[in-house]
């Protein structure tokens, strides 16, 4: 049975012109796009999205980074979507990401790491609803 995950192509990767390359890698790895948009988070949006990290020392920098320029948000569907997508993007820190993963190819640092993927089925549903209304999803 298929499941969903929420992808964001983060400001660094959008600024560096990697939208097309990342989407090609995602779809050629078997993920179906069920929702997709170019959007920009306000500081308040970024604080809400990353609320779980609010006590971390990097939280203010994370909020500034995620709201500084547009992102791509997408709902992706596949069997084992959450774990397969996390394997495809690689470790949070790009220097630890396996060769050929999205972060290995396109990320520059742990703070500016090109893509986000949901960490559980429950959070995938919450994050998909954060970005998309019912009529934006297919």
Rounded CA separation 104/128 (Å) = 25
116 binds ligand CMP per the rule CB under 6 A:
yes
91 binds ligand CMP per the rule CB under 6 A:
no
> Which stretches does DSSP call E strand in the chain?
2-9, 32-39, 71-79, 115-117
Q: How far is the CB of 9 from ligand CMP (least distance, A)?
A: 11
- Please identify, using beta-carbon distances, which residue of 101 and 113 lies nearer to ligand CMP: 113
Size of the residue set binding ligand CMP (CB under 6 A): 8
44 binds ligand CMP per the rule CB under 6 A:
no
113 binds ligand CMP per the rule CB under 6 A:
yes
Q: Which residue has the tokens 């500084």?
A: 68
Rounded CA separation 81/34 (Å) = 12
SS3 28: helix
Q: Which residue ranges make up the site for ligand CMP (CB under 6 A)?
A: 53, 58, 62, 92, 110-111, 113, 116
């Amino acid at each position: 049975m298929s499941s969903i995950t929420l992808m964001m192509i983060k400001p660094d990767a959008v600024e560096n012109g990697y939208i097309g390359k990342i989407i090609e890698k995602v779809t050629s790895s078997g993920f179906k796009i069920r929702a997709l948009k170019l959007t920009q988070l306000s500081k308040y949006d970024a604080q809400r999205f990353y609320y779980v990290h609010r006590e971390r020392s990097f939280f203010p920098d994370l909020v500034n980074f995620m709201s500084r320029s547009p992102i791509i948000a997408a709902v992706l569907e596949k069997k084992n979507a959450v774990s397969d997508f996390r394997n495809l993007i690689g470790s949070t820190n790009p220097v630890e990401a396996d060769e050929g993963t999205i972060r290995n190819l396109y990320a520059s640092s742990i703070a500016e790491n090109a893509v986000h993927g949901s960490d559980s089925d429950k959070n995938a549903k919450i994050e998909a609803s954060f970005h998309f209304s019912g009529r934006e999803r297919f």
